[in-house]
Amino acid sequence: MASQLYTNYLNLMLGDDSAAHSLPDLDTDTIKCALVNGTDDYTFSAADQDKGDVTSYGASTDQTLSNITITAGVVDNTADLTFTSVVLDVSDVDILVHYQDSGTPGTSPLICYHDAFTPVTPNGGNITVAYNASGIFAL
């Protein structure tokens, strides 16, 4: 599965008012990143709409993006994320999922799915996500 935006998020950007959630404001809302194991725990589905649809390692490990900027259709996070002391019961982390955190998984809209990186095997140390200079995604 290639990295992509979730269908519900795309529909919201195109003005679909029948979507399950309202459109996240990327530079003012709380946007988080979750570590996901796509080999054992989660398979992307275009029907997924909120964080409750994604099996991840729990909200306690999710990291909040800071310094989000939007320039010429490119969404960028200028600060690296550090997931600290990651101890997981799976073989690897091979997916990142970004979402708007409403405080409740069932009402936290999914934004994008990333799988274009080398899987990381958690060993109790930190996992750092350094975003590409070209941004998180472009519209």
Rounded CA separation 87/2 (Å): 26
Q: What is the pLDDT along the chain (139 residues), one digit of tens a residue?
A: 678 999 888 888 888 877 677 888 888 899 999 998 888 888 899 889 999 999 877 556 899 998 888 887 778 776 889 988 887 666 788 899 999 999 999 899 999 999 878 888 888 888 899 888 788 888 7
Instruction: State the total domains in the chain.
Output: 1
Q: Within a domain: residue 138?
A: no
* pTM for the whole structure: 0.89
Rounded CA separation 39/43 (Å): 8
Rounded CA separation 40/82 (Å): 23
Give residue 117's domain range. Answer: 4-132
Structure letter (DSSP) for residue 109: B
| CA Rg value for the chain | 14
Q: Where are the alpha helices (DSSP H) in the chain?
A: 7-13
Q: Within a domain: residue 139?
A: no
